[in-house]
Amino acid sequence: MDATAQVIPMPREQGATALRVVREGPGPDLVAAEFAAAEFLRAMGLALDTEGLRDTPRRMAAAYAELLTPRAFDLTTFANDEGYDELVLARGIPIRSVCEHHLLPFVGVAHVGYLPSERILGLSKLARVVELFAHGPQVQERLTKQIADWLADKLQPRGVGVVIEAEHLCMTLRGVQAVGARTLTSTLLGTLREDPRSRAEFLDLTGVGPR
């Protein structure tokens, strides 16, 4: 997806700010998607008049709508009144996305951290940002960078780090059929990229640093 999700200022209590984050563009047309799914399945030689497959086009349309459409959320930040300057890390955020080359899912976890500056982020929002960019046709490399760039732009921290570990069904169920293979990608910005000690701390805490 494009990294320009729509953000709308929302009223909040004193010291807190929030942006309503929603995906730009039209939502899914489930009626058209169901019709297209039925045509696709017939083209693949499947008979849709059996009990098991009769409702499959509707379920298929609903499933892909869920995979491709992120939920709107409030990106809530708070003043860093205590001057906290150590790493904030959310580790093992479940991630599911769809490979844009085959429209097959890839699943795994994201580790997202930042070094605060003037604002700190509600912790659940790190997972929301991951979902925002994961729900849509993606490649893992771009997804990793989009999450990091977006947090850097909205939060203005001293550093941002994102690591994603995922298994791609387009690689494990077809083609090379490398069952169990996982792909790891990372994006480090600011101090987490430039300072060797901060970089090593982040990678060690995510579990992907040197052993």
pLDDT band (50, 70, 90) for residue 170: confident
Answer yes or no: 138 catalytic. Answer: no
Answer yes or no: 111 catalytic. Answer: no
Q: Which of 6, 66, 101, 141 is catalytic?
A: 101
CA gap 32, 54 in Å, rounded: 17
pLDDT at 123: 84
114 or 209, greater pLDDT: 114
Cβ atoms of residues 123 and 90 within 8 Å: yes
Cβ atoms of residues 110 and 91 within 8 Å: no
pLDDT at 2: 46
- Over residues 52-103, the pLDDT tens digits come to 999 999 999 999 999 888 888 888 888 898 999 999 999 999 999 999 999 9
The tokens for 34 are 């169901």
Cβ atoms of residues 165 and 150 within 8 Å: no
pLDDT band (50, 70, 90) for residue 179: confident
Q: Which of 140, 146, 165, 201 is catalytic?
A: 140
For 28, the 3-state DSSP assignment is coil
pLDDT at 27: 79
CA gap 201, 23 in Å, rounded: 34
pTM for this predicted structure = 0.85
CA distances (Å), origin 175, targets 65, 139, 169:
26, 17, 10
Answer yes or no: 168 catalytic. Answer: yes
Read off the DSSP letter of residue 161: E
Q: What are the residue ranges spanned by the domains of the chain?
A: 30-67, 79-206
Answer yes or no: 156 catalytic. Answer: no
- Over residues 2-42, the pLDDT tens digits come to 444 555 555 555 566 766 776 666 778 999 999 999 999 99
CATH classification code of 79-206: 3.30.1130.10
Q: Which of 131, 156, 167, 170 is catalytic?
A: 170
Length of the chain: 211
pLDDT at 12: 53
pLDDT at 9: 52
Q: Which of 6, 39, 66, 100 is catalytic?
A: 100
Answer yes or no: 101 catalytic. Answer: yes
pLDDT band (50, 70, 90) for residue 172: confident
Answer yes or no: 6 catalytic. Answer: no
- Over residues 106-147, the pLDDT tens digits come to 999 999 999 999 999 888 899 999 999 999 899 999 999 999
Q: Which of 34, 111, 135, 168 is catalytic?
A: 168
pLDDT at 169: 87
Residue with tokens 């459409």: 69
CA gap 88, 111 in Å, rounded: 11
Q: Which of 34, 99, 146, 165 is catalytic?
A: 99
Residue with tokens 């494009």: 2
Read off the DSSP letter of residue 180: T
Please give the helix or strand (H or E) that residue 149 lies within, else none.
Answer: helix 140-155
CA gap 71, 27 in Å, rounded: 11
pLDDT at 1: 42
